Structure 1
Amino acid sequence: MPIGIVSDTHDDLAAVEAAVSLFEREGVDAVVHCGDFVAPFSVTPFDADFAFHAVRGNNDGEWAVESTVEEFGEYHGEAAALSFDGTDIAVTHGTSSLVVDALVDCGDYDYVLHGHSHAHGVEERDGTVRVNPGGLPIPVDGADDSFRVATLDTAESGVDAVTHHVLDG
């Protein structure tokens, strides 16, 4: 089962539309947004032909983000525990590296998805894979220089199941 992973879209409609287009081309069955939409208008393009799940990011101060997501998807608040095709996934924004590390190290999940740093990455520790899809480029050391998202294929396992994609946003 292909799953799209996105984070830190920060009201950039061109980036959101590029992500949705990629996910549609890839034929994903679900998309997980790891937070930082910022405002509700940047949520609505995700109302597409896939299941949609989202968690709150540290810049999601607009509480109408929740009700907008819930018009067509599931809003999980600060964190989510999801299961797709027998694959267990934890999702958090990633503001706290302590929380991300605890989710990875607890051994309860196959994958832990997070954003926040705007730096894509994937690593496996003791059977759990941590995935940061990236985000919009920001002028911070370590951040990506282009917008990135990721896909996860639950038919595969480990880091080989994750593909990062560079998008024009």
Structure 2
Amino acid sequence: MKIGVISDTHGLLRPQALAALAGVEHILHAGDVGDIEILDQLRRIAPVTAIRGNVDIHGPCAELPATDFVELAGKIFYLVHSVHDLDINPAVAEVAAVVSGHSHRPSIEERNGVLYVNPGSAGPRRFNLPVTVALVEIAEEIEARIVPLAIV
């Protein structure tokens, strides 16, 4: 199974992000959506699980959950906007992957048998940080990679 991971769109869904997510079977949005229409556009590609971030305080985005669990291909994913707000012990909860955003810094790391994926920011560029999404593939194991978006 191929999963697209996106975060911190802040109301901007770039065509490059849509192209990078084309062909995925599910999309995880880790908050700071900024405009509910972004989720509608992503749903044209695949089903979406989305949470709110710290900028999603008004309108329909404010109604998104603060955290969420989703099971994909037999693996449990836990979404939280800022990894610093993690309110569970993922290893004890048998979570395979924690998906977060907020920092705008893409990262993939494993801790205590749990994969932590931050796709970085796919929205407006912040400082000199890259504009990125992530792709996760599940076979028997979970593999993730950061996908830089070509922004001109």
- Above 0.5 in TM-score? yes
Q: Distance in 1 between matches of 2:100 and 2:90?
A: 11
Q: Which amino acid aligns with 1:163?
A: R
Q: Distance in 2 between matches of 1:103 and 1:121?
A: 20
1:45-64 → structure 2 map (5 Å cutoff) = 45-64=41-60
Q: What secondary structure, in the 3-state scheme, does the structure 1 residue paired with 2:71 have? A: strand
Q: Which amino acid aligns with 2:136?
A: L
Which position in structure 2 is the counterpart of 1:155?
Answer: 139
Q: Distance in 2 between matches of 1:66 and 1:145?
A: 26
Are 1:18 and 2:2 matched, yes or no?
A: no
Are 1:99 and 2:86 matched, yes or no?
A: yes
Change in 2 beyond 3 A, CA 1:121/1:104: farther
Q: Is the 8 A contact 2:108 2:118 kept in 1?
A: yes
Q: How does the TM-score come out when normalised to structure 2? A: 0.86
Q: Distance in 2 between matches of 1:61 and 1:42?
A: 16
Are 1:88 and 2:70 matched, yes or no?
A: no
**Paired residues, what number?**
149
Where does structure 1 lack aligned partners over 5 or more consecutive residues? 68-74
Change in 2 beyond 3 A, CA 1:103/1:90: farther
Deviations 1:36-80 (A, max 9, x none): 01123433321313111100100012222367xxxxxxx5x0111
Deviations 1:100-133 (A, max 9, x none): 7x44454520100000000011111121011100
Q: Distance in 2 between matches of 1:4 and 1:164?
A: 10
Which position in structure 2 is the counterpart of 1:42?
Answer: 38
Q: Which amino acid aligns with 1:23?
A: L
Q: Distance in 1 between matches of 2:129 and 2:4?
A: 20
Q: Is the 8 A contact 2:31 2:50 kept in 1?
A: yes
CA RMSD of aligned residues (A): 2.1
Post-superposition offset of 1:98:
4.6
Are 1:4 and 2:4 matched, yes or no?
A: yes
Q: What secondary structure, in the 3-state scheme, does the structure 2 residue paired with 1:117 have? A: coil
Where does structure 2 lack aligned partners over 5 or more consecutive residues? none
Q: What secondary structure, in the 3-state scheme, does the structure 2 residue paired with 1:43 have? A: helix
Are 1:122 and 2:118 matched, yes or no?
A: no
Q: Distance in 1 between matches of 2:91 and 2:74?
A: 20
Q: What secondary structure, in the 3-state scheme, does the structure 2 residue paired with 1:10 have? A: coil
Change in 2 beyond 3 A, CA 1:49/1:40: closer
Q: What secondary structure, in the 3-state scheme, does the structure 1 residue paired with 2:126 have? A: coil
Q: Distance in 2 between matches of 1:86 and 1:105?
A: 16
Q: Kindly indicate which of the two structures has a greater share of residues assigned to helix.
A: 1
Q: Is the 8 A contact 1:5 1:149 kept in 2?
A: yes
Q: Which amino acid aligns with 2:61?
A: V
Post-superposition offset of 1:148:
0.5
Percentage identity across paired residues of the two chains: 26
